[in-house]
């Protein structure tokens, strides 16, 4: 079974631009979560989508948004990019929405560089 | 201040040695997970511990969940170069799907 795929793998943008990242979960998985990974802050939770609805949100500004489609594919958007948004953006999918022992499967990430 | 603090931050040891990595918090977690992340890839789940005091073994890796469910440890016996990577502990907290620890970057020298 194919794993989580993310596109593009690498992206370079300039300050003020916006960017859209895409994530295709494992077939049958309905929950998609997004994380930001930076050397300084580590891995931080952005938001989770389930059945096309945002269910949980981390402590990020409103410039970070996302959506999920009926086929469970998800996109995240960052508007008005700042230098500090340079990071590895990871997507993870799981079968269920809740459950502390739910296994998440991570994609390889999209490396975003903001110049 | 991070909710989950890992120590050490960096660890470089010779192949064949043993090591222990720690994950500590002042908060109680219903469960904790350990992941390993290699360059250019996303984290891969190694284990989930749920019960206080629980010990789980995965070949040469031994994971323990503290009795009070505030800490966990990962012990590797006879480390091999293939164990090299970033080790992350994580647990569900508040509205976050997973809160991750600060990470331990492990390098095994052949």
- Comparing B8 with A99, the larger pLDDT belongs to B8
Give residue-wise pLDDT tens across range B14-57.
Answer: 999 999 999 999 999 999 999 999 988 999 999 999 999 999 99
pLDDT tens across A69-82, in order?
999 999 999 999 99
Residues A20-29: what's their mean pLDDT?
96
Residue-level pLDDT at B46: 96
Q: How far apart are CA B71 and CA B90, in angstroms?
A: 11
| CA atoms of A83 and B6, how far apart (whole Å) | 27
Please judge whether B42 and A106 are an interchain contact, meaning their C-beta atoms are less than 8 angstroms apart: yes
Token duo for residue B17 = 């040695």
Residue pairs spanning A and B at CB distance below 8 A = 57
Q: Does A2 score more than 70 pLDDT?
A: yes
State how far residue A47 is from chain B, nearest Cα, in angstroms: 8
In this prediction, residue A12 carries a pLDDT of 98
Interface of A with B (CB under 8 A): 4, 33, 35, 42-45, 48, 56-58, 90, 92, 100-101, 103-109
Cα gap A7→A110, rounded to integer Å: 7
The angle formed by the CA atoms of residues A56, A48 and A55, to the nearest 5 degrees, is: 40
Give residue for tokens 């290699």: B38
């Amino acid at each position: 079974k194919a794993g989580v795929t993310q596109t593009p793998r690498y992206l370079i943008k300039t300050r003020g631009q916006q960017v859209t990242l895409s994530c295709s979960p494992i077939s049958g998985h309905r929950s998609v979560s997004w994380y930001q990974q930076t050397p300084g802050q580590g891995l931080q939770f952005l938001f989770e989508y389930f059945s096309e609805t945002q269910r949980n949100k981390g402590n990020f500004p409103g410039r970070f948004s996302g959506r999920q489609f009926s086929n469970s594919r998800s996109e995240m958007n960052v508007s008005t990019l700042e230098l500090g948004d340079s990071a590895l953006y990871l997507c993870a999918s799981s079968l269920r929405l809740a459950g502390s022992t739910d296994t998440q499967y991570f994609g390889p990430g999209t490396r975003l560089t903001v110049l | 201040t991070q909710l989950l603090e890992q120590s050490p931050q960096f660890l470089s040891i010779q192949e064949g040695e043993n090591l222990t990595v720690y994950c500590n918090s002042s908060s109680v977690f219903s469960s904790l997970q350990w992941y390993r992340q290699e360059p250019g890839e996303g984290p891969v789940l190694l284990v989930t511990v749920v019960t206080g005091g629980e010990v789980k073994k995965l070949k040469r890796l031994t994971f323990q969940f503290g009795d009070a469910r505030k800490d966990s440890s990962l012990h590797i016996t006879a480390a091999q170069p293939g164990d090299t990577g970033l080790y992350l502990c994580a647990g569900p907290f508040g509205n976050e799907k997973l809160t991750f620890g600060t990470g331990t970057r492990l390098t095994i020298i052949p």
